[in-house]
Structure 1
Amino acid sequence: MKKLKIVAAVSLVGLVLSGCAATDAPAASGELQTVNVGHVQLAIFSPLYVADAKGYFEDEGISLKLEAIKSGQDAVPLAASGKLDVVVSGFSAGLFSAVETGLNVKVVGSMGVSAGDEEVPPSALIASKALVDDGTITNVADLEGRKVAVAGGAGGTGAFYVGMALEEAGLSITDVELVTLGNPDMPTALANGSIDAAFASAPFWNMPVEDGTAVSLWTTPTGTSGTGVVYGGDFAATDLAQKFFTALTRGAQDLQGDDRYTDENLAIIGAATGQTAEQVAAVPLYRWLPDLAPLPEQLAAMERMWMELGAIVYADPIPEADYVDATFAQNS
């Protein structure tokens, strides 16, 4: 199959933010200091919302200013320039391209991680049941040459997850035809045969499985995470950087195990993401590392796969030490 040629670009179009970064001016004694946080408004970033609602940032002398963003790729340049202090979002090929061009940002933490063994995981690779029933697809290896839908295109985390599944089956990410499609459109596309498989988040993977139009083939292994926390370089050098991360990890610690589903936490997550508590509870939540430590080996694997796809165009991998800083997690 012809290798995809996709150049990852970093776009600022359509994102206008106001206000000063936390590093612009020191606060008076006892006054809360503002930290500007760009976030994608999803439940996978629940530690941020829980820590904010429960006052953990205030305990550290911080007042959050939350700015909704469409993707981390849009916000990374804003963090590098100081217009944002922190970005909480999914990783993409654009992050690596930005670092390679010299933008000053650091990956300091992870967000939602897969438990791997859950009966109803937060996301899964699914295939058309019609193709399974006629014997065309019996396992992941049978996806070779077929159309597989991913959100975010070749430079997004969905493509990385599909690549993981294919490599486990002895194939490469270039052995399938990736189709860019939003999660809500995937069940219909599977039903009408315009795609053969999809990597989808709940409820968009389990809905077609439950109604008999799809079959689950694979889910992400334990500990896999495609999301995390990025600091602007200037913010990372301030005292607030550690205080912010300490508060954030307190939010993560309140979400361990079944505590994810306490009434209080569900209400907080719902309010932050525009849902009811019942709607949040109806969809499987990810898990979070108690210290939200970054996962440099996985980031390196993402970079390698996106290079293979052509979503990253530079020749040599970036040393992990150039863009990953685990000290905030270690000191929380």
Structure 2
Amino acid sequence: MTNFTLNRRHILAGMGAAGAVAAFGRPAFANTKVNLGVTRLASHAPSYLAFERGYFKDEGLDVELKFFEAAQPMAVAIASGDADYGVTAMSGGLVSLAEKGAVKVIGGALAEEKGVVGNLLLASTKAYDAGLTSADKLGGHSFGITTAGSSFHYMIHKIAQANNIPLSEITLRPLQKLGAVVGALSTGQIDAWTIQANVANKLLASGAAKQIGVVSDYIPTYQVTTVFTSTKNAGDRAKTEAFLRAYSKAIDDYNAAFVDKTAGADEVDAIAAIMHKYIDMDAPAEEAKETLISGAMRVNKNCALALSSVEDQLNWFKSEGMVNKDINNEILFDTSYVEII
């Protein structure tokens, strides 16, 4: 703990100095090309805000957004150099790439928080009408995931565990892409799924699904998504600190407008308009705004990392044989950049 405290002090001092330079209009470096991995979910709101509001440019970063439909392909892109930074859930694939020395988790983003709407547990209307009306009845039913070792896989593990249901009694259906899971739930091809509220609320409103639980009841401090990068970028302090500063500024905007409700109406409208360019584009702007606000989740201030949560996820990957049992915190995490909570 002593080493960590000293590192944090030096890092914060360095970030303060860099911030002072930026205040005089001189970023530490100009026009540095950066590819940022994103998905079209509300959890990526800070990515879009930092991009559209010029926060990345203010730090000298020329960011290009690269779109993905699942966590694992994003991790592969970071490892291969096709993307520089990513914000998504920890997956077995990400952990395995960290073991190979390719990636590092450097911060936290979306988080479950009691009292704030989070991921919802849904049953298809077909399954609900047939008796799947609560989480303790999931045994014998099917559940949608993108890939084995995804956040959806982890969430159903925790829900089943809390309800004393062996996970072997739930049929996992890996469908690779978020859109495919949405379609499968809507048509009753799978019985249940967990998803962020902005997506869940649309399924509920359409009559395609029924809510049968709230994930925060089972994982109240769940670090849903993390900020990660290549090991090479993790070693480039100036570049990575610049990225985190820009991202953190956008997090503050998002939380104030949608979670803490401390921003004015004009700011709420402005942020909703930016998000609508990337999320729920097919919906009318006002409808999308209401869905995004009603489904807002906390994003950790300054990308703080809930270490106990990601450690629990790592231990689960190990227990399921998805990753090498010898992987430890030092291999997976670089905790020198952000506050540990």
TM-score for both structures, normalised by structure 2: 0.74
Partner of 1:142: 137
In structure 2, the CA distance between the partners of 1:40 and 1:144, relative to structure 1 (3 Å rule), is same
- Identify the match of residue 299 of structure 2 among 281, 288, 291: 288
- Counterpart residue identity of residue 68, structure 2: I
User: Displacement of 1:70 after TM fit?
Assistant: 3.7
Q: Please show how residues 213-224 of structure 1 align to structure 2 within 5 Å.
A: 214-221=209-216, 222-224=220-222
| Contact 1:127 1:198 survives alignment (8 Å) | yes
Partner of 1:19: none
Matches of 1:202 and 1:143 in 2, distance apart? 20
User: Displacement of 1:212 after TM fit?
Assistant: 5.7
Matches of 1:207 and 1:144 in 2, distance apart? 26
Instruction: Render the CA deviation track for 1:79-99: whole Å, top value 9, x for unaligned.
Output: 334443212233321111212
In structure 2, the CA distance between the partners of 1:29 and 1:171, relative to structure 1 (3 Å rule), is closer
Gaps of 5+ in 2: 1-26
- Counterpart residue identity of residue 54, structure 1: R
Matches of 2:95 and 2:39 in 1, distance apart? 19
Matches of 2:203 and 2:35 in 1, distance apart? 39
In structure 2, the CA distance between the partners of 1:271 and 1:61, relative to structure 1 (3 Å rule), is same
In structure 2, the CA distance between the partners of 1:57 and 1:29, relative to structure 1 (3 Å rule), is closer
Aligned residues: 298
Q: Please show how residues 179-258 of structure 1 align to structure 2 within 5 Å.
A: 179-181=173-175, 189=184, 194-202=189-197, 204-207=199-202, 209-210=204-205, 214-221=209-216, 222-238=220-236, 239-256=238-255, 257-258=260-261
User: Displacement of 1:206 after TM fit?
Assistant: 3.6
In structure 2, the CA distance between the partners of 1:59 and 1:93, relative to structure 1 (3 Å rule), is same
Matches of 1:155 and 1:94 in 2, distance apart? 7
Q: Please show how residues 105-124 of structure 1 align to structure 2 within 5 Å.
A: 105-118=103-116, 121-124=117-120
Three-state SS of the structure 1 residue aligned to 2:35 is strand
In structure 2, the CA distance between the partners of 1:205 and 1:273, relative to structure 1 (3 Å rule), is closer
Matches of 1:215 and 1:264 in 2, distance apart? 31
User: Displacement of 1:211 after TM fit?
Assistant: 5.9
User: Displacement of 1:223 after TM fit?
Assistant: 3.7
Partner of 1:297: 308
Three-state SS of the structure 2 residue aligned to 1:225 is coil
Matches of 1:32 and 1:83 in 2, distance apart? 18
Matches of 1:264 and 1:42 in 2, distance apart? 18
Partner of 1:125: 121
Matches of 2:75 and 2:207 in 1, distance apart? 40
In structure 2, the CA distance between the partners of 1:293 and 1:172, relative to structure 1 (3 Å rule), is farther
In structure 2, the CA distance between the partners of 1:58 and 1:184, relative to structure 1 (3 Å rule), is closer
1:170 paired with 2:164, answer yes
Matches of 2:170 and 2:332 in 1, distance apart? 30
| Contact 2:121 2:192 survives alignment (8 Å) | yes
Matches of 2:126 and 2:241 in 1, distance apart? 52
- TM-align CA RMSD: 3.2
| Contact 1:293 1:326 survives alignment (8 Å) | no
User: Displacement of 1:230 after TM fit?
Assistant: 0.9
Partner of 2:83: 84
Partner of 2:331: 322
TM-score for both structures, normalised by structure 1: 0.76
Percent of aligned pairs with the same residue? 23
In structure 2, the CA distance between the partners of 1:131 and 1:268, relative to structure 1 (3 Å rule), is closer
Instruction: Render the CA deviation track for 1:295-315: whole Å, top value 9, x for unaligned.
Output: 3322232233344555x153x
Partner of 2:93: 94
